[in-house]
Amino acid sequence: MLFHFKDKFPQLTPYWDKYREFQKRVEVGAKTVLLEEGKVSGHYIFIEKGCVRMGFNNNGIDKTVQFFFENEGLTSFESFLKNTPSLFTIETIEPSVVYLLPKIHVNNLMAELSHDPGFTNLILEVSAERQLHYMHEFVSFIRDTPEQRYQNLLNTRPHIIQRIPQHYIASYLGISRVHLSRIKSALAKKK
Amino acid sequence: MLFHFKDKFPQLTPYWDKYREFQKRVEVGAKTVLLEEGKVSGHYIFIEKGCVRMGFNNNGIDKTVQFFFENEGLTSFESFLKNTPSLFTIETIEPSVVYLLPKIHVNNLMAELSHDPGFTNLILEVSAERQLHYMHEFVSFIRDTPEQRYQNLLNTRPHIIQRIPQHYIASYLGISRVHLSRIKSALAKKK
DNA sequence: TGGCGACGATAACATATGTTACCGAATGTT
DNA sequence: AACATTCGGTAACATATGTTATCGTCGCCA
């Protein structure tokens, strides 16, 4: 639905701003849970300041699937869409300022604008981008070694490596934190 | 766009049937390339009989990312959407009967129906399902061991294991064909 | 019908990756 | 200042996985 947008889809901003009055601004500390795994997602979240991760607990081991930063929005999509228990926890990494928009208003926004072809096309575009994003992640696991995946991250999204604690990145790459550390030191030697 | 549908989204069929006259029916043998990696996708493909894989060549090693069967449709989505060189090859596995619908008609269909809210909602639903599909694949790589991924496949999509040659499945699971063979024999012992 | 190629199993060995444990630096809290 | 917590590096060892090679079966086709 309305995933990342401010920077990537600035055309969405006017639609979004119509609903600004219903958004609740919250300031929270680091490691604050915004949505707990198993609960039904009731809000769309927009990040003004800070960063957030989406992850889950697998047999006591914490896994991370995605990171979000300033001017990005997110929700636990499947849960939000289908009113099912969320597969993921959403949790701040740094102290953050976020806006919460209750689901009702998102639904209103979608309903109200379903006859606006410009808006509809935008939503389709955003949806296609989300699909491609996850597809690329998936293909990368088939195609690349963990070391290559780390280098891709370094090349295409260095802010993640700069801002995010290493153990979260390791699980995002599908490897142990020890192995990520080894990869980094191997790369350092190569240069 | 219009990905899998006949079985999963039967409501789409009437829309689709309007364009039946523009579809070209083709019968092809096994291992026939329907779209070559690097070329721009110009057709939407619907499978009447047989099965098809989507994959790519990585340093001389063939990788597979998805399988398609009867009553499913596909295209190299990103290439089709953006007129860019396809990242993937589309190739039959078995002798197959497919229908090809040139892109122009797909675009007409989309344009013609953009004011039909029922159709628009269907497309959004299909798009959301595609997003969730790839997300689940991606999450599975972070969460599961190759053995678990094989078992998931066995439990949820056994037809893939029955119909598809093992080396394609191995690359789809992100492992070597030798290792897949080991996994199978380990599972056989457990029982 | 004979040969050839595709397919799957398996063994032996090499390499990649996980696990556990320990250390030290940095930071926040009392 | 003392302390706990988080974080990242590294070593030693265990396990998972890849690579290469060999073999047997099967189906296709010249």
Residue A123: name the closest of B109, B78, B123 by CA.
Answer: B123
Domain span at residue B40 reads: 3-117
In a domain, B7, yes or no: yes
Q: Do B141 and A141 touch (CB under 8 A)?
A: yes
In a domain, A20, yes or no: yes
Which of A63, A115, A124 is opposite residue B117, by nearest beta carbon?
A: A115
Which of B63, B132, B139 is opposite residue A142, by nearest beta carbon?
A: B63
Q: Locate the chain A residue with the closest alpha carbon to B121.
A: A114
pLDDT digits (tens, 9 = 90+) for B54-84: 999 999 899 999 999 999 999 999 999 999 9
Q: Rounded to an integer, what is the distance from CA A152 to the centroid of its chain?
A: 18
B182 strand C contact, CB < 7 Å:
yes
Which of B58, B123, B135 is opposite residue A143, by nearest beta carbon?
A: B58
Average pLDDT, chain B: 92
In a domain, A56, yes or no: yes
pLDDT at B3 over 60: no
- What mean pLDDT do residues B13-21 have? 79
What CATH number does the domain containing B98 carry? 2.60.120.10
Query: Which residues, 6+ apart, have CB-to-CB distance to A168 below 8 Å?
Result: A53, A55, A64, A67, A93
- The sign of the torsion formed by the CA atoms of B104, A3, A171, A148 equals positive
pLDDT at B145 over 60: yes
Q: What DSSP character marks residue A95?
A: -
- Determine the pLDDT at residue A1: 47
CA distance A46 to chain B (A): 20
- Determine the pLDDT at residue B146: 98
Query: Which residues, 6+ apart, have CB-to-CB distance to A80 below 8 Å?
Result: A1, A41, A42, A44, A103, A106
Query: Which residues, 6+ apart, have CB-to-CB distance to B33 below 8 Å?
Result: B89, B90, B91
Among chain A, residues having any CB pair with chain B shorter than 8 Å are 1, 56, 58, 63-65, 77-78, 81, 87, 114-115, 117, 120-121, 123-124, 127-128, 130-132, 134-135, 137-139, 141-143, 171-172, 174
pTM to 2 decimals?
0.94
Q: What DSSP character marks residue A109?
A: H
In a domain, B135, yes or no: no
In a domain, A175, yes or no: no
Per-residue exposure over A45-80, b if at least 16 CB sit within 10 Å of its own CB, e if not? bbbeebbbbbbbeeeeeebbbbbbbebbbbbbbbbb
Question: B82 to chain A: which residues are within 8 Å by CB?
Answer: none
pLDDT at B191 over 60: no
Which residues of chain A between 88 and 147 are close to nucleic strand C, CB under 7 A?
145-147
In a domain, A34, yes or no: yes
In a domain, B187, yes or no: no
3-state secondary structure of A145: coil
**What's the CA dihedral at B136, B139, B145, B147 to 10 degrees?**
10
- Determine the pLDDT at residue A6: 62
Strands B52-58 and B89-92: antiparallel
Query: Is residue A139 within 8 Å of residue B88, measured between CB atoms?
Result: no
Nucleotide of closest approach to B177 (CA, C1'):
C8
CA distance B10 to B95: 25
In a domain, B41, yes or no: yes
What are the average pLDDT values for consecutive 10-residue runs of chain A, which has 191 residues? 63 78 94 96 95 95 96 96 98 96 93 81 90 97 98 97 97 98 91 56
What's the number of domains chain A is made of?
A: 1
Q: How many Å does it take to go from CA B178 to C1' C19?
A: 25
